[in-house]
Amino acid sequence: MNPVQKVAIITGASQGIGAALVTAYRKLGYAVVATSRSIDDSTDPDVLTVRDDVAEPGAGARIADAALAQFGRIDTLVNNAGVFLAKPFTDYTDEDYEFVAGVNLRGFFGLTRSAIAAMLSREGGGHVVNVSTSLVDHALSKSPSALASLTKGGLNAVTRALAIEYAARDIRVNAVALGVIRTPMHPPETHAALAKLHPLGRMGEIDDVVQAIIYLENASFVTGEILHVDGGQSAGH
């Protein structure tokens, strides 16, 4: 491995946005650590796959350690793994809370803490990108989702906090706040209704998200930014 090759960790990398990000970062020349609960081995020597559940205590440290053992450094972390559970607030159970907070908050906390520690251990800084939702800014009566707002709203807040805390060390922290993206989690029969949630009149595509994250990766003067990729949803309707 070229010692100056940068390394990105991408969570939720087995399908959808995460899988597309693996391809995009490889095109940028990065080695990639691709992790999810179920992910196939890669034939690319510059892609390390790690099967783990970011919601489990200790998973973040294990993933970061695997990245360092294989590639020797961590330059970028994309916290793409997330879960969404829409219910009326009073219908949520304690198990629902543990499930959503486990992935969206503990998953972020454990891995980001280890990744930033690795970035601090050498010169050159780094970059963290968190995947959030426009529902934090623009709640929808037809889609009650308080647990998404609770957890992803926390990611928006900590994005700004960490951006300021580590700016002097050249570690940038940004987020993308998404509308509804056409991924395998949305059955085709729901697409027409979901498209109407966005002023642009369509669902987002995976490539829309990938382009936004790659923009942030290359935007060295941008930190603490919550970039909305939502067809105008957060601006109004």
Q: What is the layout of strands, in order, in the sheet containing 126-133? A: 47-51, 31-36, 7-11, 76-79, 126-133, 171-178, 226-229
The class level of CATH for 7-229 reads alpha beta
The model's pTM is: 0.95
pLDDT one digit per residue (tens) for the chain, 237 residues = 446 899 999 999 999 999 999 999 999 999 999 999 999 999 999 999 999 999 999 999 999 999 999 999 999 999 999 999 999 999 999 999 999 999 999 999 999 999 999 999 999 999 999 999 999 998 888 888 899 999 999 999 999 999 999 999 999 999 999 999 998 778 899 999 999 989 999 999 999 999 999 999 999 999 999 999 999 999 987
